[in-house]
Structure 1
Amino acid sequence: MPLVEAAILINTKPEVVRQFFLNYHNHQHWNPFIISINKWTNKESKELNIDDELQIDLRLKGTDNISTFYPRVLENNESEIQWIGCLINSWIFYGLHTFKFEIVDDDKTLFSQVEIFGGLLSYFFYLFGLYNKTRQSFIEMNEALKDQIENKLAE
């Protein structure tokens, strides 16, 4: 199964990073990869709750195409947010995406993204160069997140 991951150290506590990240309506203003997150179900609650379905628009680095998918939230706690998206059925294609907020040295955060792809179509992931584009998109997003948070703290 293809796996893509990227991490970055952010100079503030995990709760600050998590709070900024969970302001999902703001992603369109800073996030070059996940350009839009909207709740598809349970719209009356602003929180991302387990089993909420989302509408996510993303743009891979180096492309102009916007892809939309509808993952379901599996986990949302202090240390991670996780969702899974499927194409028709998980045996055809799925992506399990995890965002982690880990404390380092009492006042820093190791923010990481991990995505595991599975299903029959996941093997085309490598053939079409999507592995590298996805990893570069993760890195670009992580750097933008770090810049946004650290610049706000410096103000």
Structure 2
Amino acid sequence: MSYQVANVGDPADAALLARSAVKGTEGRTTPIVRALLLERVAWASARARDRDGTQRALDAVDDAYEQRSAGVEEPEWVYWLDRKEIDVMAGRCLIELGDPLTAEPLLSGAIAAYTPEHAREIALYQTWLAESYARAGVFDAARTTINRARKAAEGVNSTRLDLRIGAVENLLPA
């Protein structure tokens, strides 16, 4: 719920929801679930323009993720959260906070680590990389990257992806 509210509602409310979830599950959840909940705190904090709160949350995500082990069985629904996804979220947070150039290596590294069968993720994350370039004023790189995203998105049926491509294209000068 926090993620949705951060995207379409009051980010401060989203941060409160996310922090409440983290607090409510303290000591009762697995490392990767905790990392996911903390990512929601980071995103909501970034959307609320809380730089310190975002950085604290991202640091806590890293700490929680590093505590994972083969002896701890994680729920199936967190199968997708790995280092690449954590780097993408950190990059997105940095873009929200107005630091797009610092986001670039995180996003580029994550995108490069995906295999071609993850076309949706590759295309979606390329939209964030293109946004980082656009917000930094590097428009040629932004155009090249959004064109790569559009190409990677061919055959992928994703409204979210289509909306992201359009949103980034609107950041580019004609």
In our comparison, the structure showing a higher alpha carbon Rg is: 2
Q: TM-score, normalised by structure 2?
A: 0.27
Higher fraction of strand: 1
Q: TM-score, normalised by structure 1?
A: 0.30
Structure number with greater CO (CA < 8 Å, separation at least 6) is 1
